[in-house]
A and B are shown apart, each in its own frame.
Chain A
Amino acid sequence: MKKLSYEAAIKKLEDIVRALEEGNHPLEDALKLFEEGTKLAAFCNAYLDNAEQKITELTLADAEESSDEQ
């Protein structure tokens, strides 16, 4: 799977669930959707489980330096 934002993944998962629930797909497609949905859910879960909050700092001094360069 491509590198995906959590938001994009959740949205895709929601779409897949909706599509599966509508049930207009041939079985093969439905199984593919299910497989993809499972992967997306795993990705999202891993994303949520991941992580101590990372805190970094952006200082205005950086901004002055960068604007000096211009």
Chain B
Amino acid sequence: MKTPVVLTVSQLNTYIKSVIDSDGNLSNVYVCAEISNLADRHVSGHFYMTLKDGASSIKAVMFRNAAQRLKFRPENGMSVIARGRISVFERDGLYQLYIDDMQPDGLGALNLAFEQLKRKLEAEGLFNSDRKKPIPKYPAVIGVITSATGAAVKDILHILSRRFPVAQVVLCPVQVQGAAAAAQIAAAVKLFNSGPFADVLIVSRGGGSIEDLWAFNEEIVARAVAASTIPVISAVGHETDYTICDFVADLRAPTPSAAAELAVPDKAEQQSYLYSLRFRCRNAAENRIREHRARLEQLTASPSLASPLTAVNIGRQNLDAILSVMRYKLDAVIGSETKRLSGLSGKLDAMSPLKVLSRGYAIALYPGGSVIKDAASVKKGSEVDVRLAKGILRCAVKDIVSTKPKAGEK
């Protein structure tokens, strides 16, 4: 009979662990379960949870390295398929699932990842309209990030060359699906920005399944587009497909063709717009000239400019008027003076000594011409003149008769 071996608990747990670890069936298992008791250790980055189905449960842990690779955030009640190995936590004698990878169960897996990333970026404000950069109206260089072989690139180049061949196109070919796609798309966006090598970017892919379009739902693409200083137009899949890239981009186009339409103006429209500008420019200039000419004409038509002599003439007219008034007044003065003068001379005439002579009187004059009033003043034998009304008598004085003054006379 064998002696029973007595083990310590540690020894027992170590042994159990070694048995379980050596079982190939348990080293890589897929478990379909519902998450409960989820503990998200922010400090360590590890996830601890209980996976259960209707009847049973098992403890599970997902260490930080694995947890970081998750495309979604585990939540309680979520159905998942977890892949990992079974091992033992010796201290507690606890066997549990060490999860390497985990997917949400069912068809909604990608949708869930999409919704979660969308919520996260939205919360960060990456979709805010105030972050959206305006798309330049007349880009000189258009960067196109898409597959070199897809339908999208053909559609885009076709539209660009039809609408606005003036603009240069810089094509950066990338894989648009598969494992490398997201990193390449992100790298291409960064590459264009390192120049910058374009005025606007079109990030695009033709239609496909949600899996085909998945690269455009990856965070790395979203971050690159959000960080782009060049405005980005996103056009992924068909009109009904929305990707994270669409939300982050400055403008979403429903299709690759539409993206090209939105990226450039139409050359013909531009030409007619330009024509209208030229027309308006000429018209406005002509109107200005016409206005100035009208103003000039108005000025030259004013009398003072029409003839420089006008002012002089006006002055002369005034002067004439004044002169004629003066002349009139002067005439009046002269007239009245003339009348007065003839009145006076009439009187004067009546008093003239010559008039007395005509009545038969005579005047005796000394030879010098002065009047003789006293006979005594004349010597006998001297000559005197006697003036008559007509003519003069030259007389010799024969005798002097003095008339005695009458009484009372002197």
Contacts A53-B160, A56-B168, A57-B171 given; indicate if A7 touches B137 (C-beta within 8 A).
yes
Check if B166 sits within 8 Å of A47, measured CB to CB.
Answer: yes
Contacting B at CB under 8 A, from A1-51, are: 5-7, 10, 13-14, 16-17, 20-21, 23, 25, 27, 30-31, 33-34, 37-38, 41, 44-45, 47-48, 50-51
| Chain A residues within an 8 Å CB radius of B157 | 53, 55
Give the residue of B137, B170, B289 whose beta carbon is less than 8 angstroms from that of A57. B170
Contacts A34-B282, A55-B157, A58-B191 given; indicate if A27 touches B289 (C-beta within 8 A).
yes
Give the residue of B166, B192, B271, B291 whose beta carbon is less than 8 angstroms from that of A6. B166
| Chain B residues within an 8 Å CB radius of A53 | 157, 160-161, 165-169
| Interface, chain B (partner A; CB < 8 A) | 136-138, 140, 143, 157, 160-161, 165-174, 184, 187-188, 190-192, 194, 197, 267, 270-271, 274, 277-278, 280-282, 284-285, 287-289, 291-292
Q: Shortest distance in angstroms between A38's beta carbon and chain B's nearest beta carbon? A: 7
Q: Shortest distance in angstroms between A3's beta carbon and chain B's nearest beta carbon? A: 12
Q: Shortest distance in angstroms between B43's beta carbon and chain A's nearest beta carbon? A: 34
| Chain A residues within an 8 Å CB radius of B190 | 63
Check if B140 sits within 8 Å of A33, measured CB to CB.
Answer: no
| Chain A residues within an 8 Å CB radius of B281 | 13, 16-17, 20, 34, 37-38, 41
Check if A30 sits within 8 Å of B285, measured CB to CB.
Answer: yes
Contacts A48-B270, A53-B168, A57-B173 given; indicate if A13 touches B285 (C-beta within 8 A).
no
| Chain B residues within an 8 Å CB radius of A10 | 138, 274, 277
Check if B165 sits within 8 Å of A51, measured CB to CB.
Answer: yes
**A69 adjacent to chain B (CB < 8 Å):** no
| Chain B residues within an 8 Å CB radius of A23 | 284, 287-288, 291
Give the residue of B168, B187, B271, B277 whose beta carbon is less than 8 angstroms from that of A13. B277
Give the residue of A33, A44, A59 whose beta carbon is less than 8 angstroms from that of B173. A59
Given contacts A20-B284, A59-B173, 7 further A-B contacts (CB under 8 A): A16-B281, A23-B287, A37-B281, A45-B274, A53-B168, A55-B171, A56-B168
Q: Please, which residue of chain B has its CB at the minimum distance from the CB of A26? A: B292
Check if A6 sits within 8 Å of B140, measured CB to CB.
Answer: yes
Main secondary structure on A side of the interface with B:
helix
Contacts A7-B137, A53-B160 given; indicate if A48 touches B288 (C-beta within 8 A).
no
Distance between Cα atoms of A10 and B278 in the complex (Å): 11
Q: Shortest distance in angstroms between B7's beta carbon and chain A's nearest beta carbon? A: 58
| Chain B residues within an 8 Å CB radius of A50 | 166
Give the residue of B171, B280, B289 whose beta carbon is less than 8 angstroms from that of A58. B171
Q: Shortest distance in angstroms between B98's beta carbon and chain A's nearest beta carbon? A: 37
Give the residue of A14, A51, A60 whose beta carbon is less than 8 angstroms from that of B277. A14
| Chain A residues within an 8 Å CB radius of B191 | 58, 60, 62-63
Distance between Cα atoms of A38 and B283 in the complex (Å): 12
Q: Please, which residue of chain A has its CB at the minimum distance from the CB of B183? A: A60
Q: Shortest distance in angstroms between B187's beta carbon and chain A's nearest beta carbon? A: 5
Q: Please, which residue of chain B has its CB at the minimum distance from the CB of A63? A: B191
Check if B138 sits within 8 Å of A6, measured CB to CB.
Answer: yes
| Chain B residues within an 8 Å CB radius of A27 | 288-289, 292
Distance between Cα atoms of A47 and B167 in the complex (Å): 10
Distance between Cα atoms of A59 and B184 in the complex (Å): 10
Check if A21 sits within 8 Å of B284, measured CB to CB.
Answer: yes
**A52 adjacent to chain B (CB < 8 Å):** yes
What are the nearest 7 A-B pairs in CB distance?
A: A20-B284, A34-B285, A37-B281, A53-B165, A7-B138, A63-B191, A30-B288
Distance between Cα atoms of A45 and B165 in the complex (Å): 13
Distance between Cα atoms of A40 and B82 in the complex (Å): 67
Give the residue of B172, B267, B285, B292 whose beta carbon is less than 8 angstroms from that of A20. B285
Check if A41 sits within 8 Å of B267, measured CB to CB.
Answer: no
Q: Shortest distance in angstroms between B45's beta carbon and chain A's nearest beta carbon? A: 29
| Chain A residues within an 8 Å CB radius of B187 | 60, 63
Distance between Cα atoms of A16 and B192 in the complex (Å): 35
Check if A58 sits within 8 Å of B285, measured CB to CB.
Answer: no
Distance between Cα atoms of A57 and B173 in the complex (Å): 8
Give the residue of A14, A17, A44, A63 whose beta carbon is less than 8 angstroms from that of B194. A63
Q: Please, which residue of chain B has its CB at the minimum distance from the CB of A62? A: B191
Check if A52 sits within 8 Å of B165, measured CB to CB.
Answer: yes
| Chain B residues within an 8 Å CB radius of A59 | 172-173
Check if B172 sits within 8 Å of A57, measured CB to CB.
Answer: yes
